[in-house]
Structure 1
Amino acid sequence: MAEALQIDLTPAAAARVAAIAARQGKPAILRLAVDGGGCAGFQYRFGLADAVENDDTIAERDGVTLVVDEISLDLVRGSAVDFVESLGGASFQVTNPNAASGCGCGTSFSI
């Protein structure tokens, strides 16, 4: 596995992942991936993972693991994954220092 500390998981995001994983009876592993598309060129994709893959970079907080594949890591290195609740709804959000611009929905970005 690649070294950690290249991406971070906030306490709020870790708590939310733990709650979702417990409800679904799955391991508390959140996978962040980047896909081409979205309104700004790339979009974030989140999902629970069953296991950590060999090429994953990991970050751990409060018993929860965040995993990012090698290709996606190049686009999100140095980012933090947070869970935000607001009047507009609740969602995982990525604070990405590599993004040159984003979109209004907060789920896609360009570099």
Structure 2
Amino acid sequence: MTASNLTLSQTAAQRLHALSQSEGYRVMLRVAVEGGGCSGFQYQFDLVSELHADDLVVERDGAAALVDEMSLILLRGSVIDYVDELSGAEFQVRNPNAKSSCGCGVSFSI
């Protein structure tokens, strides 16, 4: 099933393709929202090779991010991105539903 209100950026898709190529198998990004962090909710990112039956799939150019239904409620309208800056390289979520976030950008509140 697809998650229509969630987008995978071109940069994130390119990074997933590069990881897949270096690993020799398709690498997908599992994104979840969990309670915790200094702002109430936090993002959990995992690189996986298998799809679960209840995963919602966000695809771009053959790359895929996976999300569960509960997390999708908090991620509607978001963009899953990949940034490579001097401070480090990481997957990030640009979430229009987040009212505030912590300094590290990993946790947020609604």
Q: So what's the TM-score if we normalise by structure 1?
A: 0.89
Q: How far is 1:43 from its partner? A: 0.8
Find the counterpart in structure 2 of residue 71 from structure 1.
Answer: 70
Q: How far is 1:99 from its partner? A: 0.8
Identity %: 53
Letter of the structure 2 residue corresponding to residue 66 of structure 1: A
1:7 to 2:6 alignment: yes
Q: How far is 1:20 from its partner? A: 1.7
Which runs of 4 or more aligned residues in structure 1 lie more than 4 Å from their structure 2 counterparts after TM superposition? none
Q: How far is 1:82 from its partner? A: 0.6
Letter of the structure 1 residue corresponding to residue 61 of structure 2: D
Q: What count of residue pairs does the alignment treat as equivalent?
A: 110
The gaps in structure 1 that reach 5 residues or longer are: none
1:51 to 2:50 alignment: yes
CA RMSD of aligned residues (A): 1.4
* 1:17-67 deviation per Cα after TM superposition (whole angstroms, max 9, x unaligned): 121233233423111011111111111111122222232221111110111
The gaps in structure 2 that reach 5 residues or longer are: none
Find the counterpart in structure 1 of residue 16 from structure 2.
Answer: 17
Distance 2:23 2:72 in 1: 27
